[in-house]
Chains A and B, each alone.
Chain A
Amino acid sequence: METKKSFWQKIFDRPEKPYADPYLGGIVLGLTLFAALFITGSGLGGSGTIGRFSVFLLDLIAPSFVDRVPDFLHWGGGTANPLDATLPVMTLGSLIGGFVSGYRGGRVRPEIHKGPQISNRTRLTMAFLGGLLFTYGARLARGCTSGQGLSGGAVLSAGSWTIVFAIFGGAYLVAYFFRKLWI
């Protein structure tokens, strides 16, 4: 007797396929980035959506506070909706694209990836801290690995290349001290 699979099982229990050749991934990302720059004149982005979403949440709780902080005012001042912009829409598309690719590869399921030596709790604490630091750094540098790295790198911005080396340099500099997290 075959039992009927639930909706979630149909998504989660698909046979898992390995990831694609990363060079093919590079070609797909490169073509997408080219399309973005060629058609719209601006590239891909990531951190800006997290920033805008943060201001959006803040605007729900404390709109007058948003109007007093210059960086928040910029996105969510007055009646402006920080999510009503092209970048959050692009991110929405990337969530759908990521989900579709993950679904096709049987890689959509609730899970936590971590190094073998740490607990889930340590992993999630570090993920929180990492996300906090990364976004802070991205706002300071005016863009992350997407906006400065991929987009600024491809259009040969001198500042973006400096940032690329700083990101990889920073990561390699401290990688040894945090090796227990991953290996």
Chain B
Amino acid sequence: MATFPLDLLGMWGKWGTYLVFLLIGFGFGYGLEMSGFNKSTVLAGQFYFRNVRVVKAFFGAIGVAMALIFAAVRLGWLDYNLIWVPPTYLWPGIIGGLIMGVGFILGGFCPGTSMVAAATLKIDALVFVIGGLVGEFIFGITEPYFSNFYYGSYFGRLTLMDFFHTSTGVAMLMVAVLAIVFYVVMEKLQAAVSGEETPPSVYRSIVWFVPLAVSLVIALVGDPTPQEVWNRIAPEKQALLDSRAVYIHPGELLDSIADDTLQVVMLDVRPESDYNLFHIQGARNVSPDDLVEVADELLLRPDINQTVIVVMSNDETAATEAWKTLQAKSVPNVYILEGGVNHWLSIFAAEEEGIQPLSQAADDRPRYAFSAALGDQWEAANPFPHEWELEYEPKIKLERKKGPSSGGCG
């Protein structure tokens, strides 16, 4: 399991955590000031091509951080699933962004830079911060009037990889190339407007080419397969299988389906022909090859923390493999139907005439013969929970998805 990010609160308590954030803040403020961002005329100069420092430092920082983060992720040191990725609320983001753009031109700062500039006694920055205090107040009292808009167009933890259906490396390459295009265009525009040429420097080469090189390597190596990730996390997770802590009894599945406070997602990973003969009502047939995409889709569910995911095959073999894949994708609250569909049928189809036990069957193959391919129209596909009082050891324990629940802005 990747060691980072650290559980700071658990390790060093509140004040230790604060110390780390204080040091990070120091670097942030130092970097902003040395780049010239405590001076409104420098920041605003970007928009008149008098001074293009903003684009260089801004996209430079993004490129350098991106390269290091995803290199660490690819090496298995850092768990991307536990990093705060700002969720996408499309239209509030776009409108808010446009308003910020106007504020930038009028005020000559953004919030972070204004506070750092105020620390170096720039009076216009201090006034910008005071304006910000009022802006926050107005937002608080006006937000109830457009709450639907504010919480609407929600796409969850949507990444560029999801949006463009690419690997991490390819998405990184797009960013790295785009940044270089910006640097070239901005340097040319600055030269045209102010006659100021940009001298080559070692820092310029680093910012231009290190993110590009790292992205290229990651694009060529490709994302780790679920099998590789599983091998990495197996030492920790295999115990859950060995102790059977994640195998739930059919009775617990039935009760969970009937529980209104839970969302139950059933993934039936059997071949389509088996699924067509019989499946539990509401179960979704998923080919093992499509599991990774299904995992991405599940992770974007807004109700993921109230969702129990149950994978099933005829017995347990294929379902257990699917469970490993979902673990590799850090999907929370995944369980396996104990004994699979065969076990389910042994309980609920005992009196169903069209479903008769076979004398023998290979592992993870159906142990029942069906008189017709009725899918979920069998009685046993939708048992009435109150007719069945099954004894079982409850195993489902909802866990919240790990990782920060808010980012830098909360």
**Interface residues of A, Cβ cutoff 8 Å to B:** 19-51, 53-55, 57-58, 69-72, 85-87, 89-102, 105, 107-115, 123-124, 126-175, 178-179, 181-183
Cα–Cα distance between A178 and B104 once the two chains are bound (Å):
11
Cα–Cα distance between A23 and B163 once the two chains are bound (Å):
29
B234 CB within 8 Å of chain A = no
- Structural contact, A128 and B130, CB atoms closer than 8 A: yes
Closest residue on chain A to residue B52 by CB atoms: A22
Nearest Cβ distance between residue B406 and chain A, in whole angstroms?
7
- Structural contact, B122 and A35, CB atoms closer than 8 A: no
Closest residue on chain B to residue A123 by CB atoms: B124
Contacts A41-B4, A98-B33, A133-B107 known; list 10 others, CB within 8 Å: A25-B53, A31-B27, A31-B65, A46-B115, A48-B408, A127-B40, A129-B106, A136-B136, A141-B92, A151-B408
Cα–Cα distance between A29 and B141 once the two chains are bound (Å):
34
Cα–Cα distance between A142 and B395 once the two chains are bound (Å):
37
- Structural contact, A148 and B86, CB atoms closer than 8 A: yes
Residues of chain B within 8 A of A48, CB atoms compared: 408-410
Chain B positions 172 through 208: 1 when the CB is less than 8 Å from some CB of chain A, otherwise 0: 1001000000000000000000000000010110110
Cα–Cα distance between A152 and B407 once the two chains are bound (Å):
9
- Structural contact, A41 and B28, CB atoms closer than 8 A: no
8 A Cβ contacts from B131-178 to A? 131-141, 143-144, 150, 155, 157-163, 168, 171-172, 175
Given A20, A97, A132, A159, which contacts B89 in the complex, CB threshold below 8 Å? A159
Which 9 A-B pairs rank lowest in CB-CB distance, beginning with the nearest?
Answer: A130-B107, A170-B101, A26-B60, A93-B25, A166-B97, A30-B64, A45-B408, A131-B131, A141-B96
Cα–Cα distance between A142 and B278 once the two chains are bound (Å):
47
B18 CB within 8 Å of chain A = yes
Closest residue on chain B to residue A93 by CB atoms: B25
- Structural contact, B68 and A44, CB atoms closer than 8 A: no
Chain B positions 67 through 86: 1 when the CB is less than 8 Å from some CB of chain A, otherwise 0: 01100100000101011111
Nearest Cβ distance between residue B292 and chain A, in whole angstroms?
18
Band of interface residues on B:
35 or more
Quick one: given A30-B61, A114-B40, A132-B138, are A157 and B24 in contact (CB under 8 Å)?
A: no
Residues of chain A within 8 A of B113, CB atoms compared: 46, 145
Residues of chain B within 8 A of A38, CB atoms compared: 4-5, 68-69, 72, 78
Closest residue on chain B to residue A109 by CB atoms: B121
- Structural contact, B28 and A113, CB atoms closer than 8 A: no
Cα–Cα distance between A6 and B94 once the two chains are bound (Å):
50
- Structural contact, B4 and A39, CB atoms closer than 8 A: yes
Nearest Cβ distance between residue A35 and chain B, in whole angstroms?
6
Residues of chain B within 8 A of A153, CB atoms compared: 62, 66, 175
- Structural contact, A19 and B36, CB atoms closer than 8 A: yes
Cα–Cα distance between A137 and B58 once the two chains are bound (Å):
19
Quick one: given A19-B53, A138-B96, A144-B110, are A99 and B120 in contact (CB under 8 Å)?
A: yes
Residues of chain B within 8 A of A57, CB atoms compared: 133
B23 CB within 8 Å of chain A = yes
B314 CB within 8 Å of chain A = no
- Structural contact, A135 and B136, CB atoms closer than 8 A: yes
- Structural contact, B24 and A40, CB atoms closer than 8 A: yes
Of B42-50, B239-247, B259-267, the one contacting chain A is B42-50
8 A Cβ contacts from B230-289 to A? none
- Structural contact, B93 and A148, CB atoms closer than 8 A: yes
- Structural contact, B47 and A171, CB atoms closer than 8 A: yes
B127 CB within 8 Å of chain A = yes
- Structural contact, A26 and B207, CB atoms closer than 8 A: yes
B125 CB within 8 Å of chain A = yes
Residues of chain B within 8 A of A130, CB atoms compared: 102-109, 128, 131
Residues of chain A within 8 A of B161, CB atoms compared: 156
Given B101, B106, B143, B163, which contacts A166 in the complex, CB threshold below 8 Å? B101
- Structural contact, A110 and B123, CB atoms closer than 8 A: yes
Cα–Cα distance between A115 and B43 once the two chains are bound (Å):
12
Quick one: given A127-B131, A132-B135, are A138 and B29 in contact (CB under 8 Å)?
A: no
Given B112, B122, B144, B207, which contacts A146 in the complex, CB threshold below 8 Å? B112
Residues of chain B within 8 A of A165, CB atoms compared: 97
Closest residue on chain B to residue A95 by CB atoms: B119
Closest residue on chain B to residue A125 by CB atoms: B127
- Structural contact, A34 and B69, CB atoms closer than 8 A: yes
Residues of chain B within 8 A of A123, CB atoms compared: 124
9 contacts between A and B (CB under 8 A): A22-B35, A22-B53, A30-B68, A38-B69, A92-B22, A97-B28, A124-B124, A138-B100, A140-B96
Residues of chain B within 8 A of A85, CB atoms compared: 410
B368 CB within 8 Å of chain A = no
Cα–Cα distance between A102 and B409 once the two chains are bound (Å):
25
Closest residue on chain A to residue B168 by CB atoms: A156
- Structural contact, A22 and B56, CB atoms closer than 8 A: yes
- Structural contact, A46 and B5, CB atoms closer than 8 A: no
Residues of chain A within 8 A of B86, CB atoms compared: 142-143, 147-148, 151-152, 155, 157, 159-160
- Structural contact, A27 and B30, CB atoms closer than 8 A: no
